[in-house]
Amino acid sequence: MSLPRPSATTTALITGASSGLGREFAIQLAALGHHVTIVARRGDLLDQLAEELNAGDAPGGVSVIVADLSESTQRQALLDALQRNGRAPSILINNAGFSTTGPAAKANGAAEVSMVRTNVEAVVALTVAVLPAMVAASEGAILNVASTASFQPLPGQAGYGASKAFVLSYTEAVSAEVSQFGIAVTALCPGPVETGFAEAAGFTEAEAGVMPKFMWVSPHDVVRAGIDGLVASKRVVIPGAANNVLAHVARHSPRGPLLSALKKYHPSL
Ligand SMILES: NC(=O)c1ccc[n+]([C@@H]2O[C@H](COP(=O)([O-])OP(=O)(O)OC[C@H]3O[C@@H](n4cnc5c(N)ncnc54)[C@H](OP(=O)(O)O)[C@@H]3O)[C@@H](O)[C@H]2O)c1
């Protein structure tokens, strides 16, 4: 299988493109000739990226749409703007997301709900919004950014781990439903990657650095692995050999001892 070809009436819609993995997805998909539609809340960073892409390697062009994806009205405005632009997403990268940290008993309720809306609700809303046209065209590709946190519960980031478990389960099921129509649906499950993620989650540099060096993969290589996974129509991609092994160990370990160990070593507990 291959990615849908770039065209004048399609776009690669990339959420969370103002930073980190989303920014890298925009760079790599633009270089493949796709028109990219980049979405996030921080419009200044999106404009900066659009300028860089337009000055460099983006033969298909770039559209910027500012939206808070945790808000259903703003998600609808995003879909309306795509229609006005005359471009249907042939590729959807559901990448926007963040983590809260700390014990659930001390959580900020509004932040928890906003995280679930961004990490889960927006992924579902955008997936079901674009799928019918992809099925009708018998062409399309959707990549949902999950995490190695998808493979086991995560004390200290309970809501985040659960949100990413949802993304993994949802993606695998939808993949099974639409693969017969030639549509690739892939869950990308990175381990630690140096992006704005740790700072947005409130980890100090020292706390973020407790993850052993061998687990870290660069944003470029994570995104490369994700795009290669879509091209190969893989259901699940875990970048990095060590992360692959650890994810499988976590998935099959007895929950009691695993949860105790994760709780003991989580920096926020
Ligand atoms: N970095 C890691 O170690 C790691 C590991 C596993 C999985 N992941 C996942 O990778 C994805 C990308 O994160 P990253 O590592 O690239 O972190 P990042 O640099 O912090 O990027 C997160 C992106 O999500 C956007 N975003 C957050 N909330 C949003 C909202 N309500 N509406 C619209 N956009 C929103 C942010 O843009 P604005 O702030 O401008 O809105 C930003 O562009 C996330 O889903 C994350 O869970 C990351």
pLDDT tens readout for residues 156-176? 999 999 999 999 999 999 999
| 54 is a domain residue | yes
pLDDT band at 128 (very low <50, low <70, confident <90, very high): very high
Work out the angle between the directed axes of helices 20-31 and 219-231 (0-180°, nearest 10): 50
Q: How far is the CA of 145 from the centre of ligand 1 (A)?
A: 9
| 3 is a domain residue | no
Q: How far is the CA of 180 from the centre of ligand 1 (A)?
A: 31
| 187 is a domain residue | yes
pLDDT band at 233 (very low <50, low <70, confident <90, very high): very high
Q: Is 170 a catalytic residue?
A: no
- Ligand 1 atom nearest to 15, measured from its CA: 34
pLDDT band at 209 (very low <50, low <70, confident <90, very high): confident
CATH number at residue 224: 3.40.50.720
Q: How large a percentage of the chain has pLDDT more than 70?
A: 100
pLDDT band at 57 (very low <50, low <70, confident <90, very high): confident
Counting the structural domains of the chain, the total is 1
Amino acid identity of residue 264, one-letter, is: K
In the beta sheet, which residues pair with residue 88? 10
φ/ψ region of 7 (left if φ > 0, alpha if ψ in -120 to 50, else beta) reads beta
Structural domain including 191 reads 10-265
User: Quick check: 217 pLDDT over 70?
Assistant: yes
Which string of b and e fits 26-50 if b means at least 16 CB within 10 Å?
bbbbbebebbbbbbbbeeebbeebb
| 225 is a domain residue | yes
User: Quick check: 16 pLDDT over 80?
Assistant: yes
| 176 is a domain residue | yes
User: Quick check: 1 pLDDT over 80?
Assistant: no
| 53 is a domain residue | yes
Of the candidates 25, 160, 170, 203, the residue annotated as catalytic is 160
10 lines ligand 1 (CB under 6 A): no
